[in-house]
A and B are shown apart, each in its own frame.
Chain A
């Protein structure tokens, strides 16, 4: 029972941070109807920005994320405006052209980072990196708790932003029906740019929160891309709250798999759930909530 409790709590904490990354992806997917396969690479770039802040200037990773987020917001806006938006008008045989472009972007970002930082494994060690708190008999890692709290705070703030502000409403309107939103006077290309920026910034935030827990190397992006599209499909495309729950579900499933099956099969659990959800519950958790 103790082991079970610890596993579940660990899964929830990790899942909260995954959720933050996935929310970024689900926003982009909802508004632009494309799968952003460069998302993990954006997470990775965000982690490197935070890492550099820590190594060169001694800024704590949890403060460094506030530097990484604007940087990634800017990069995201550039990518959207000058690369992906261009493809809307281009006529091509394969409809998945924009998705393939994100693959190219992923390649460029990953290799640019490899060129700058080499493929070495890097990690950030702070005074609290390996400290734990005891909850009853269960020991829980402090960076995970902090990360989870910040991630949930960001999720809540984003929810407020999307429901209470004009820009947020415009984003949701564009996601629901792009044409109708344009008729209502929404500048859709500006909105998609902002959305991609926010998505990238959230990716950076999630990455920075995970930095004290993970090793960092240029290829870590693939891991986060996989996790975030699993979560996005779990939660239902374009649904913020769905992604939050999807993140928690994936976190719990993974840590249960790691504890009770084997560490090596941990990632398979997520992927199998993903395919099952795609096949039998294509709308994700959101469609369950509607029933």
Chain B
């Protein structure tokens, strides 16, 4: 089983690496770049939300901090935003320390609400601290590189690093501790798992890679404002839905979720016009109701249903 997974992963990586040879149109590449970005955010959310069971409604805070670090480097100091790819995630990780200190005193729904409130506080702060952040006018940068293929490979590298690090964490002792916290925090505590410490171990990389995606967003899109990068429904909530769609607590679930989210969103946008988010919302409701662990998480169930359908078909004919 493990060898099989490695082979699948290798096939995926090779496919992803040679894809730009076949797809040259900027539009399709743009879609794929967005998929990479969302997959990174989803994978890092999944580490905290999926494996450790700490559902965070405030990941936009880390995304925004990463994005703004890169943006403000240019805005104030004229330093290339690519340094933001390094500093952004570090800033996001630093910001996550006090957030973890505050929020991990709370559990379950209370934790979710506290994170939601913190995410909103960040948005309001970045709007109002005009002298530092340029307020709601946002930050506009002049990208040095415009080739989509370049961004595609940066995104791919980012995704692979994120998935690899997450995989390492999850399959180490920390990962088992995190799952034990998710399944039963009291039991984990009584067995000697320092729960708060290990939740912070999950939050730190999670914030780091979300910040990385944020810095990448600044470099790629070249314009940020607080309403975009700290958005509650378009970032914080959407990342949860992306992970739910793909599969909670699975290695490639968030990537699958991001693929579906971006491409389905695009298909709906072209065919249904302004109804696209509505259809997506309905789809999310259906997934949560009927496939509560996401598409990758319920793969066995889906396979069973598929094969049963085939059988009944051949039997009928």
Give the interface of A toward B (CB within 8 A): 34-35, 83, 86-87, 90-97, 99-101, 103-108, 110-112, 114-115, 219, 222, 226, 229-230, 233, 262, 264-265, 267-268, 271-272, 274-275, 278-279, 282
Contacts and interface: CB of A to CB of B under 8 A. Distances in A.
Interface string B93-120: 0000000001001101110111011101
Given A94-B49, A101-B288, A110-B233, 10 more contacts: A35-B109, A87-B288, A92-B292, A93-B297, A95-B53, A100-B240, A110-B281, A114-B278, A271-B118, A279-B106
B280 to A, nearest CB: 7
Interface in B278-317: 278, 280-282, 284-285, 288-289, 292-293, 297
14 contacts: A35-B113, A87-B292, A93-B293, A94-B292, A95-B108, A97-B288, A101-B288, A101-B289, A222-B233, A264-B124, A265-B124, A268-B128, A271-B118, A271-B120
B248 A115 contact: no
A278 B114 contact: yes
B13 interface: no
Q: For chain B, give the interface size range.
A: 35 or more
Contacts of A104: 241, 281, 284-285, 288
Contacts of B49: 94
Contacts of A99: 55, 109, 112
Contacts, number: 131
Contacts of B125: 268
Contacts of A271: 117-118, 120-121, 124
- With a 10 A CB-CB cut-off, give which of A110, A275, A279 has the most chain B CB atoms: A275
Contacts of A35: 109, 112-113
- With a 10 A CB-CB cut-off, give which of B288, B289, B292 has the most chain A CB atoms: B288
A282 B110 contact: yes
B258 interface: no
A221 B109 CA distance: 20
B90 interface: no
B278 A233 contact: no
A268 B275 contact: no
A25 to B, nearest CB: 12
Interface string B199-243: 000000000000000000000000000000000110001001100
A96 B278 CA distance: 22
B50 interface: yes
A278 B314 CA distance: 59
A279 B102 contact: yes
Nearest to B130: A264
- Cβ-closest 5 pairs across A and B: A107-B281, A92-B292, A111-B278, A108-B281, A104-B285
B288 A267 contact: no
B285 A105 contact: yes
Nearest to A97: B292
Contacts of B53: 93-95
A102 B57 CA distance: 13
Contact of B292 (A90, A264, A278): A90
A103 B127 contact: no
B105 A279 contact: yes
Contacts of A111: 275, 277-278, 281
A92 B293 contact: yes
A112 B276 CA distance: 10
A100 B286 CA distance: 12
B120 A226 contact: yes
Contacts of B248: 92-94
B288 A34 contact: no
A86 B288 CA distance: 11
A114 B275 CA distance: 9
A107 B288 contact: no
B249 interface: yes
A261 to B, nearest CB: 10
Contact of B241 (A95, A103, A274): A103
B55 A115 contact: no
Contacts of A95: 53, 108
A229 B110 CA distance: 10
A264 B293 contact: no
A274 B55 CA distance: 18
Contacts of B146: none
B190 interface: no
A96 B297 contact: no
A130 to B, nearest CB: 27
A110 B234 CA distance: 13
A96 B108 CA distance: 8
A264 B128 contact: yes
A189 to B, nearest CB: 16
Nearest to A35: B109
A83 B281 CA distance: 13
A103 B233 CA distance: 9
B141 interface: no
Given A93-B293, A100-B240, A222-B233, A229 B274 contact: no
A92 B249 CA distance: 11
A106 B244 CA distance: 16
